[in-house]
Amino acid sequence: MHPRLKAFFFPSLKPEFVLRVVLVAVCAYLFFGHVCTPFFARGQSMEPTYRDGSFDFIWKPRYWFSPPVRGDVVTVRLAGERVVYLKRVVALAGDEVEFRQGILFVNGDPVNEPYVKGPCDWNLPPREVDPGNVYLVGDNRSMPMEQHDFGQTSLRRIVGAPLW
């Protein structure tokens, strides 16, 4: 074997090399564990925007300095850090939200939602979003309302946003 190939595949374990490997491992752990966490989308509630089984990253700094706005796709922590939902913000604190024959109304006005997979026949009476909360819904509204997890959630449970 060529000496350069041998040195590349079997480096000598000098202190500088070991320190470099440890630093790379610690930085990777911190970055991928606390800043940009990988995840697989499971379920069909966000189709066609995010397909079941697709791979992405949660960009956690997205909401460190500003809250989500209407239309943002966010990741929401359920129990612990390992289980998160992917949902769209449709209403903010103080807004009144309702569904009439599949059309989303916020503060009495219909919302144009080109990302929604239809047809939809949801009906939900008006409700006001509490302070410190947002109202979240998935994009795939062709599924029955009973099969969706949606509604009001605290801003503290929002972990970040998908990277792409």
Is a pLDDT exceeding 80 seen at residue 48? yes
With a cut of 90, say whether residue 145 has pLDDT above it.
Answer: no
pLDDT at 80 over 70: no
Q: How many Å apart are CA 21 and CA 24, to the nearest integer?
A: 5
State how far the alpha carbon of 131 is from the alpha carbons of 77, 98, 103, 109, in Å: 19, 17, 24, 21
> Higher model confidence: residue 27 or residue 147?
27
pTM attached to this predicted model: 0.83
Residue 136 is encoded by which pair of tokens?
């979240």
**Strand 103-106 to strand 96-100: parallel, antiparallel, or no bridges (unpaired)?**
antiparallel
Task: Output the CATH code of domain 38-162.
Answer: 2.10.109.10
Q: Say yes or no to pLDDT of 19 above 90.
A: yes
* CA separation for the pair 60, 39 (Å, rounded): 12
pLDDT at 1 over 80: no
List the domain boundaries for the chain: 38-162
pLDDT for the residue 65: 93
Mean pLDDT score of the chain? 90
The tens digit of pLDDT for each residue in 85-103 reads: 899 999 999 999 999 999 9
Q: Would the pLDDT of 47 be above 90?
A: no
